[in-house]
A and B are shown apart, each in its own frame.
Chain A
Amino acid sequence: MRRAAIGALAAVVVSAPWLVAALVPRQQRYVLHVLIFTALFAALALSYDLVVGHVGSLSLAHPAFFGVGAYTAALLATRAGWPFLGALIGAALAAGVVAALVGVPLFRLTEHAFAVGTLGLALVASVVANNWVEVTRGPLCITEIPKPVLGVPGGPALAITTLPGHYWLALGALAAVVLLYRGLTTFRLGRAFHAVRDNEPLAGAAGIDPLKYRLLAFTIAATVAGGVGALYVHYLSVMCPEEMTVALTVNLLVIVFLGGVGSLRGVLVGAVLFTALPEVLRLAPTWRLVIYGTLLLLVVVRSPEGLESLLRRAAR
């Protein structure tokens, strides 16, 4: 029954472009656009949850790594003329390296101080994106980023130009991130992550170095965020500094905390709700943030387990 339900859901998700074309032919482009955003945000939120939900470090620097990846991909594709896959890998590695470098001093901070330090990093990254005009073009944005072309140099190539193509690419990326997330959070490594999150001194005493595992989760999450950034700019074909502000952190916090911290299903449900819903309701960004902030406040104070606890109750 459970397996059949998941199979049916997967079939619906994969065939979504045709379903959309059949059901809402007039708004096909718009609905697909929202779906692509949802898939990309779900992947980003899952990577964020690796740090927040599984090793228990409340990082607020995720927009910085997303931005490093997005700008790296944008620059490699426009200035250096790298192919899509090269730019994607370069972006992911760049974000990962930055995370590993800043992670060493940042993890000297504990608890709230770590959160503030990472928020400071996000702020510095956004100041740099706005002001390092020679490289990022500042508020003028990097434009004309080519559409993704899948394939190796010299071999067959598949250019992704249509919206369904972008959707399947984003969905493939999300599937890869889901597998990575499952792989990292179960097995031996996942148990080490949870040990560090649940009882740091005990984990240390049992020979699990908390710093090592936190840094590992932080770096992997940043690598994934960088990759998502690359997909994002190749889809939109433009990258602006506004894409990496505190508003993105709020979005991720809402998705992860309202969906369910540390739960694959919770984060996915959160991503669908909080990416698609505001688009459908056509909320102005300021109102959206007011509503998100209020929801976040109510949920963390009243029911800190998020929607996941409701889902679990419904499943019983």
Chain B
Amino acid sequence: MTLISDLLEQLLHGLTLGAMYAMVAAGLALMLGVARLINFAHGEFFMLGAYAFWLGYSELGLPYPIAALLAPAVMVIFGIVYQHTVIRAILPRSWHVQLIATLATSIVLTNLAIIVLGTQPKEVPTTLSARILEVGGFRIAWQRLLVLVAALVIFWGLDRFVARTRTGRAMRAMSQNREACAVVGVDVQRVTLVTFALSAGLAAVAATLVSPLFNIFPDMGTVLTLKAFAAVVAGGFGYVNGAIAASFLIGITEALAGSYISYAYKDAIAFVIMIAVLLWRPQGLFGRRIGI
């Protein structure tokens, strides 16, 4: 009995991690698909979103729903500023320049966060993270349920947005042929801007959902970017739903390996999966696709 409930608990933990990685990886895949750009500072969007949430909830004492909406709003603005200052300057340049510029942004943001906020991890427990739902000896924090339900709603909404709306369709078209889009009159700049704002917002939503469960610290972004990128590679370059599925695979494997094999090496799991996928199916787990 304890064995099974233990396993279930780890699975649930893995799903929570997967949801977090998936929200970050989906943004990364969108940027890669639409703008052909790898944003190394993407994990820092999550980190800044988490601190914005901490500021609103713990420091200013705002109620959870308001703080949880405020942080993504702040990060959407941040994403727009980032697009205007850094991304616009590097988009026409070679991928070397893009990569180093976003990596440099990530380093600057991480170290500024250390200077301003200190290295001491912050905890943001909420009423939902302390309340436990018990079903037949199986215990689950309400916050985890919230993460999973919210993640499902968000991924469904994202899928509908990309499939149905005018902007979403423009995003898909741009991921297939940017020049042709510009020729037929798609506002390429605006769609890129929407993509960045959306990606930054998604990372911040993930941060507000999982921050009550995990600690917040300044250099958590780097590892997160790398894991999300491992998911993007495993899911098939720039294919958003593939990246989401691969994120859940990574999250669950990490939780199980962390609990049954070795906790210390759990951060290496994502890369083992990525390398295995590359050796076995270089086109990604779900086959070759064109576009997002």
Contact = CB atoms under 8 A, between A and B. Distances in A.
Nearest to B266: A127
Interface in B266-292: 267-268, 270-271, 274-275, 278-279, 282
Q: Lowest 10 A-B CB distances belong to which pairs? A: A293-B108, A131-B264, A293-B107, A296-B104, A120-B271, A297-B104, A289-B111, A293-B104, A112-B38, A286-B111
Contacts of B237: 113
B265 interface: yes
A121 B101 contact: no
B229 interface: yes
Interface stretch (B2-10, B89-97, B127-135): B89-97
A109 B278 CA distance: 8
Interface of A: 56, 58, 105, 108-109, 111-113, 115-117, 119-121, 123-124, 127-128, 130-131, 246, 250, 253, 257, 286-287, 289-290, 292-294, 296-297, 300-301, 304
Contacts of B93: 301, 304
A309 B106 CA distance: 27
Nearest to A122: B226
Nearest to A289: B111
Contacts of B107: 246, 250, 289-290, 292-293, 296
B233 A113 contact: yes
Given A116-B38, A297-B104, A286 B115 contact: yes
B109 to A, nearest CB: 8
Contacts of B58: none
Contacts of A300: 90, 96-97, 100-101, 104
Given A58-B99, A105-B275, A116-B226, A301 B267 contact: no
Interface in B19-55: 38
A293 B96 CA distance: 15
Contact of A301 (B38, B97, B274, B275): B97
A297 B101 CA distance: 5
B230 A120 contact: yes
Interface string B71-94: 000000000000000100110010
23 contacts: A56-B96, A58-B100, A105-B275, A109-B278, A112-B95, A116-B226, A120-B230, A120-B271, A121-B271, A123-B267, A123-B268, A128-B265, A257-B100, A286-B114, A287-B111, A289-B110, A290-B107, A290-B108, A300-B96, A300-B100, A300-B104, A301-B90, A301-B101
B111 A290 contact: yes
A108 B282 contact: yes
* Centre residue among B108, B111, B114, B275 by max chain A CB count within 10 A: B111
Which of under 10, 10 to 19, 20 to 34, or 35 or more describes the interface residues of B? 35 or more
B271 A294 contact: no
A116 to B, nearest CB: 5
A117 B274 contact: yes
A292 B101 CA distance: 12
Nearest to B86: A297
B271 A111 contact: no
A304 B226 contact: no
A300 B290 CA distance: 30
A41 B274 CA distance: 32
B282 to A, nearest CB: 6
A131 B222 contact: no
B106 to A, nearest CB: 8
